[in-house]
Amino acid sequence: MQIVKTIAEVRRLVSTVRQEGKRIGFVPTMGALHNGHVSLMKTARKQCDYVVVSIFVNPTQFGPSEDFEKYPRNLDSDAITCRKTGVDLVFAPSVKDMYPRENWTWVEVENLTKSLCGAHRPGHFRGVTTVCTKLFNIVDSDMAFFGQKDAQQAIVIRRMMADLHLPLEIVICPTVRESDGLAVSSRNQYLKPTERKDASLLYHALTICEDLARKGENRVKVLIAAMQQVLGRSVAIEPEYIQIVDLDTLEPLETIDRPALVALAARLGTTRLIDNIILDLNVSSGDV
Amino acid sequence: MQIVKTIAEVRRLVSTVRQEGKRIGFVPTMGALHNGHVSLMKTARKQCDYVVVSIFVNPTQFGPSEDFEKYPRNLDSDAITCRKTGVDLVFAPSVKDMYPRENWTWVEVENLTKSLCGAHRPGHFRGVTTVCTKLFNIVDSDMAFFGQKDAQQAIVIRRMMADLHLPLEIVICPTVRESDGLAVSSRNQYLKPTERKDASLLYHALTICEDLARKGENRVKVLIAAMQQVLGRSVAIEPEYIQIVDLDTLEPLETIDRPALVALAARLGTTRLIDNIILDLNVSSGDV
């Protein structure tokens, strides 16, 4: 496994591999790698001949009051994780490499970025789509792998890819969870022990919603109230949003009459967590 | 020479050529090909092994009151021009190919798009940068060729390319002019005979500006007044803007103390024409 820091070097290596006719898979990350990332890498490993992982904490997707500074960074242990998982190339650029001058060019996806996290993190998705475009242009992969845990991000990127005719296949992989259901996240390590315990209620609320829906409850108001009640069991949980939206357009639904995304965000102390499930009552619940 | 209409077909052909190790040049156009385009194609022909020309009248760069509907379209004669000039591949997609669904993803360049034409054609450059990103992603060339006549467009695209790390070299080629100095443009054919005659004053004004600057006049106000006077000789010319701006940032200058773009736009009847020169008093005047 190689670890490179410069754009020129990653381009050179990938171009050599491409000339050998190999299929290239790409997993963009912000590091602090956990089992969710490992699952993406393993999927990439299965579907591609050469796997690139980028590790870059992207400043433009953090708001001014967000955790850019304290976001966990540990390239050494991340590199060990990548090596163990069979990654071929780790690309770990500096901010100066990715933003060599004041950034004037932005890629924005309308409509999909207004609701859910977009409503609470202004500019966040613009930062995500812009840095992903840069990374896709640099890494030049055939496929890119994203986790369903960040469902809105995955849906936004998939739309960007289609609209801009990016020659890239986006694969969305299932959320990986701890044994109590909590979605694995780099931010879970911020949680205090009591917060960590209560955090499992997030997924519990989602499963309650799914159960009710499968039993025939299709009124969104009722389903959201049931989830609010579950989260209300912990005084540590401050819900930011609990929403049920159209899976393609992310527009709010009143009735579950089509494939839906049930998504929530909450604060536990200073930590912001998100989670979601997909409700597609015509098929078993699955990936985005 | 091949003429293809589908994205899949252009991808297939370019990918085959790329595997042969050939250098691919791309000239994006809206058709109505004239000597300016021919000059771009010839430059591409010299610098590359395989030359692709796209012909696509892009709806998203026209304002609601602009000339999208009446913009000249003649694929047959354009194809003859391309064949004569040694083009290898003409890509002529439909609007439905380039915009297969409602377009939600936009590429925007800040700052550079606010002044000059950007101030008078809201949304124009967003349409240009978005369609160029699509075309670059489809054609996958090594180089792309633009004319200095559309100087702001070329500067905006060059910045977009750098900010997004597009693996592409942008080449800006000198403006081609008629014998009386008028910059060749697909829109010149809209001009009535008397308008056509007066249109040469646009370039004449620019040359007067350059003469004065070379003689030591560096006050922008004085230079602009001199150009206004030249345009004032025709009652048919309605100036839209006459500006002298920093060549890199496109910010207005008060004094010519660095490389500058002298740019103007004017209406003659219903026809809008633009032209520009570069003033770099440390070197002979040249390309962007």
pLDDT value at position B284?
54
Average pLDDT, chain B: 96
Helix (H) or strand (E) holding A278: strand A271-279
Cβ separation of A164 and B134 shorter than 8 Å? Answer: yes
Rounded-to-integer distance, Cα A148 and Cα A33, Å: 16
Fold match between B2-173 and B186-278? no
pLDDT value at position B283?
62
pLDDT digits (tens, 9 = 90+) for B226-272: 999 999 999 999 999 999 999 999 999 999 999 999 999 999 999 99
* CATH number given to A186-277: 3.30.1300.10
Cβ separation of A105 and B164 shorter than 8 Å? Answer: yes
Taking each continuous run of H as one helix and of E as one strand, the counts in chain B are 9, 10
What residues of A are in contact with residue B250 (Cβ under 8 Å)?
A: none
Q: Which two tokens stand for residue B285?
A: 């005047």
What residues of B are in contact with residue A129 (Cβ under 8 Å)?
A: 105
Which residue from B101, B163, B165 is facing A104, i.e. has the nearest CB? B163
CA distance to partner chain B, nearest, from residue A106 (Å): 5
DSSP state, B90?
A: E
What is the average pLDDT across B278-283? 84
- Written out in words, the top-level CATH class of the domain with range B2-173 is alpha beta
Cβ separation of A104 and B109 shorter than 8 Å? Answer: yes
Residue from B162, B251, B110 nearest A123 by CA: B110
Which residue from A138, A165, A166 is facing B165, i.e. has the nearest CB? A138
What residues of A are in contact with residue B140 (Cβ under 8 Å)?
A: 167
Cβ–Cβ under 8 Å, residues B128 and B3: no
ipTM of the complex: 0.94
What residues of B are in contact with residue A103 (Cβ under 8 Å)?
A: 163
User: Alpha-carbon torsion B132, B136, B139, B142, what sign?
Assistant: positive
- Does B285 have pLDDT greater than 60? no
Mean pLDDT by 10 residues, chain A (288 residues): 98 96 97 98 98 98 94 96 98 98 98 96 97 98 98 98 97 98 97 97 98 97 98 98 97 97 98 97 59
Cβ separation of B107 and A112 shorter than 8 Å? Answer: no
Cβ separation of B134 and A165 shorter than 8 Å? Answer: yes
Architecture of the structural domain at B186-278: 2-Layer Sandwich (3.30)
Rounded-to-integer distance, Cα A265 and Cα A201, Å: 12
pLDDT value at position A33?
98
Determine whether B189 is exposed, middle or buried from the number of CB atoms within 10 Å of its CB (0-12, 13-18, 19+).
exposed
Which residue from A103, A140, A159 is facing B163, i.e. has the nearest CB? A103
The residue from A34, A37, A120, A165 that is catalytic is: A37
Taking the domains of chain B in order of start, what are their residue ranges? 2-173, 186-278
pLDDT digits (tens, 9 = 90+) for B8-36: 999 999 999 999 999 999 999 999 999 99
